[in-house]
Chain A
Amino acid sequence: MEIDPPALQSAGSPATPVSLTGSRVQSVAPTPAGANPRLIQIEAYDFFYGNHQVLHQVSLDIPERHVTALIGPSGCGKTTLLRSINRMNDLIEGAHHRGDIRIRDQSIFDPHLEVIALRKRIGMVFQKSNPFPKSIFENVVYPLRVAGVRQRSILEETAERCLRAAALWDEVKDRLHTSALGLSGGQQQRLCIARAIANEPEILLMDEPCSALDPVATARIEELILELKQRYTIVIVTHNMQQAARISDYTAFFYLGRLIEAGPTHRIFTSPKNKQTEDYVTGRFG
């Protein structure tokens, strides 16, 4: 495993704050004041579907209010790792893990921690936009409804705030109560982002959010991601190297369930240290 000290330590090593100092190229955004360089700590994490181990000894620190991209060939375990962070894999029978994932120094596997509360802190956006067959408005406020919020003014305020944050408000403000399924693919994906931030999460997990979108819709989502990272910690899976290069601050490359190399994105894409990373990002894999 190639270790780029800032973004990554092997399990149990002392904390090193993430910084891009030492490089003349600065990250897309400088580290925001007070941002935690190790908001999410993945430590010696193994994951199994039944007997089939798909993640091996993954150790990675993910900094707060930055975009971290997970890249790697199909089947290398990106989605599995992403879904581990909000314990979505709990729902899969026979799935189990070793090692730990901590958010703000608290293990997400701590028996005292409520999974519902954890998921409230973490919004998720999937590859295929998945709006509910309800109105645009109801889609956005759905997480609040689930949490029992009834007050009309709060719901309306939230809908507007989130739709604005998702850069969708101007396009839908006159048809909030029409079906979400009437939106274009790109609009549906932004609606799902609006819904994912309705609960004011800390972390946004995105699994190939642009893979079904055209370049214009993709550009809008990318712009939005750069906006959102002012407030949220974003972990994104993408197969589009140029997308990772455009929007992420850090990139982690996985192969066959192992973390091969991680570091500042500009370094991974101009001078990767590992040959497998180099072959993958230049499209000469395998």
Chain B
Amino acid sequence: MELPFDRELHELNERLLTMGSLAEQAVHRALQAFQTRDATLAAQVRDSDNVLDRLEVEVDERAMVLLSKAPLARDLRMVTMAMKISQNLERIGDEAAKIAKRARALAHEPPVRLDVDLTPLALEARSMLKASLDAFVQRNPEAARALIPRDQGVDVAHKSIREKLVAHMQARPETIPQCLEVLTVAKCLERIADHATNIAEDVVYLCEATDIRHVGKAAADTTGS
């Protein structure tokens, strides 16, 4: 028998899944818009960001109602983690919107050849987002844990792109406007990977009630007590 409370939890979960697929789609479209200088696609990203904002508010409202019913144990963890995961997804939407905005701005600049490839960083950020959402859908703490160390790789890649762009700007100051757009997009990708990592940590807490934030890699690899 499904309790009314279970149904409400189920609906909360559904909202998160919707937010997750919207966030993935927004990131995908924003990157495409950036690569192809496609203004229509960029506008779609802005629209889905508005939907994500609305859904975040809705998840919070639903969570508040559920909290007023004083859930405990796994229910309590689900409600609190839902609020955190939705916030991370909303921020991912913001980052996607920022990328789309840079795409539009870049479309107005004359094209230049930059010796900087964003593709690996973009692929990794998108893959981490997908993995974190899969771990959430499957309630898979091992998959979530496996994701967390990848954030360091993203940080390294982001840093190296920054350095290359700085060198580029020094060597060819006329490309500074374009370089700055690319720099912003790289930062957005790095933030998206951060949010995916946060979601993975929330999934571990949701499943195991173990808080693995800020404990360093070694501790993150051990299973909860």
Interface residues of A (CB under 8 A from B): 24, 241-242, 245, 269-272, 277-278, 281-284
Contact = CB atoms under 8 A, between A and B. Distances in A.
Nearest to B211: A24
B205 to A, nearest CB: 9
Contacts of A284: 3
Contacts of B73: 269-272, 277-278, 281-282
A108 B74 CA distance: 39
Contact of B71 (A24, A277, A282): A282
Interface in B48-100: 70-77
29 contacts: A24-B211, A241-B70, A242-B70, A245-B72, A269-B72, A269-B73, A269-B76, A270-B72, A270-B73, A270-B76, A270-B77, A270-B209, A271-B208, A271-B209, A271-B210, A272-B73, A277-B73, A278-B73, A278-B74, A281-B72, A281-B73, A282-B71, A282-B72, A282-B73, A282-B74, A282-B75, A283-B3, A283-B5, A284-B3
Given A278-B73, A282-B73, A283-B3, 9 more contacts: A241-B72, A269-B73, A270-B72, A270-B76, A271-B210, A272-B73, A281-B72, A281-B73, A283-B5
Interface majority SS (helix, strand, loop, mixed), chain A:
helix
A127 B195 CA distance: 50
A270 B211 CA distance: 12
Interface string B183-225: 0000000000000000000000000111100000000000000
Most buried by B among A24, A271, A278: A271
A260 to B, nearest CB: 14
B80 to A, nearest CB: 9
Q: Which 10 A-B pairs have the closest CB atoms?
A: A271-B209, A281-B72, A242-B70, A269-B72, A278-B73, A281-B73, A282-B75, A282-B73, A272-B73, A282-B72
A271 B72 CA distance: 9
Contacts of B209: 270-271
A73 to B, nearest CB: 15
Contacts of A283: 3, 5
Contacts of A271: 73, 77, 208-210
Nearest to A24: B211
Most buried by B among A24, A278, A282: A282
Nearest to A244: B72
Contacts of A241: 70, 72
A269 B210 CA distance: 14
Contacts of A245: 72
Contacts of A277: 73
